[in-house]
Structure 1
């Protein structure tokens, strides 16, 4: 599947885009809330059937909290956790 960056914008249903934006915002907010803001430079991107988490944190525990928060919020989507533990 193509990432959102490579899809022709004309072929995207505006309702679908709104849903994607709402879902990524929901996931981002849930991750921030469940990690207490310990994931820095957090970005959440949808690519086909995957949710990609990016950012960095200082502990594996924060990494795991972010993973589980995203899994709960994203339900039917796979999570690709690219958060770096520094």
Structure 2
């Protein structure tokens, strides 16, 4: 158990940040799922719109430090590749 006031505060901060970061990652996952659902249905226009909405969310996740830059890049690249293969 934490003994110093600094360590106690750090525990409180870590819990708060974990909640916020979890919500951010969940939001990104939701956007990605929308793209995947549109791709699965074969609706190219909906998939294009969903991908356009997901891209800034992925970039925001990188900027906020909840996603690695390469992870976001890989996810976007794979989704784009699936979208172009849909044609």
TM-score (ref. length: structure 2): 0.38
- Structure index of larger Rg: 2
Q: What is the TM-score with the length of structure 1 in the denominator? A: 0.38
